[in-house]
Structure 1
Amino acid sequence: MKTVGVRELKNRLSEYLRQVRAGESVLVTDRGEVIAEVSPPGQGQADPSLPAPLLALAKRGLATLGAPPDASLYKRIPRSRRGRHSAARLLEEERGSR
């Protein structure tokens, strides 16, 4: 696996993308710290419980595997604290005595 600084990657991007297309992975560093990894599609860690045909499509770059579900990513929506018939009450206030 090759390592390249941000400036060199920017200046020679096409060359490094050709290497990635050929199957190599490239680590990108900023001031000596690894900040990114550029690799061919489908080379991430796959969930072994996924169907083999789907994994094959991902390996060929024809499908993208999503992240496993994580309920903590979704905020809880608070329930309304108004009365039960607030919509009817608001409509009545809006329409007045028509």
Structure 2
Amino acid sequence: MKVVGIRELKNRLSEYLRLVRRGEDVLVTDRGAVVAELRRPGTSSVETPYPRLIEWDRDGKARVGAPNRPDLYPEVKPILKGCTVSELLSHERGER
């Protein structure tokens, strides 16, 4: 977590926004007192029960999904017609 004064933030705003985009939280101070927090949208200062998952999401090693609501996900149309995945696998593997 970075701490920055208002003047420094104004002078180097783009740099601090890049840090926030990468997942770093930035505390903004005015005469030594914290007056604001900059963080990525959707994140909270409340502790999460899954800090490692949040860290992986920030580092690009995993993606945190949307809530389990069907209306948030596009419908996937079947690509194959006339056979099942199991039949395709059996055909690919041949007799063993």
TM-score by length of 2: 0.47
